[in-house]
């Protein structure tokens, strides 16, 4: 688990550096990465750090460490679950003519 956690921790802690000019040119892309991927950016102006742009956390969530620990600590699961899914899939057949009523 230590190796897997350190890989996840590396990517989770990575902040991207971007110039103020590049941020102005790509603001839509940057905001999308912040919102949907959780990326954070350090903004530089003339080589000096002037701002950090990070996602807004609206709901408390688990940290990456907590998520990995929960994943590793989970039980093996129900061994018949795959069989149940196969049975459901076999009975879930589309109509021969979806337009027929």
The pLDDT-based confidence of 26 (bands split at 50, 70, 90) is very high
Domain limits of the chain? 2-91
Give mean pLDDT, residues 15-19.
93
Tell me the per-residue pLDDT of 39-90, one tens digit each, with 9 for 90 and over.
999 999 999 999 999 998 777 777 888 888 888 888 888 888 888 888 888 8
Q: How far apart are the first and last CA of the chain?
A: 55
pLDDT of amino acid 78: 83
Copy the structure tokens of residue 26.
Answer: 């790509």
pLDDT of amino acid 81: 86
Dihedral sign from CA coordinates of 60, 61, 64, 68: positive
Beta bridge partners of 45: 48
């Amino acid at each position: 688990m230590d190796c897997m956690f350190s890989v996840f921790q590396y990517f989770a802690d990575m902040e991207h550096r971007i110039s103020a000019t590049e941020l102005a040119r790509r603001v839509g892309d940057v905001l999308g990465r912040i919102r949907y991927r959780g990326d954070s950016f350090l903004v530089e102006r003339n080589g000096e750090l002037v701002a950090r742009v990070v996602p807004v956390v609206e709901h408390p969530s688990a940290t990456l460490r907590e998520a990995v620990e929960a994943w590793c600590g989970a039980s093996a699961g129900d061994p018949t679950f795959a069989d149940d899914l196969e049975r459901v899939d076999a009975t879930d057949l589309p109509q021969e003519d979806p337009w027929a009523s």
